[in-house]
């Protein structure tokens, strides 16, 4: 589930670069949150 969310956020982040700059900041924040959550899962030993 988390991996799917991370992939969707990466795609939206890339679309933010290509399309308008209005949602770019919001998408970057979501991407950073997704990366932090994945790192926490890896540190806790659950893996991806």
> Which residues 6+ apart lie within 8 Å of 4 measured at CB?
none
Is residue 27 within 8 Å of 45, Cβ to Cβ? no
pLDDT of residue 20: 60
What does the pLDDT average to over 28-44? 84
Give the confidence band of 19 by pLDDT, cuts at 50, 70, 90: low
What does the pLDDT average to over 9-38? 74
Q: How far, in Å, CA of 40 to CA of 13, rounded?
A: 21
The answer to whether the pTM exceeds 0.85 is no
pLDDT of residue 21: 62
């Amino acid at each position: 589930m988390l991996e799917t969310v991370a992939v969707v956020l990466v795609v939206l982040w890339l679309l933010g670069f290509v399309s308008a700059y209005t949602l770019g900041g919001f998408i970057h924040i979501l991407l950073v949150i997704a990366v932090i959550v994945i790192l926490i899962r890896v540190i806790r030993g659950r893996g991806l």
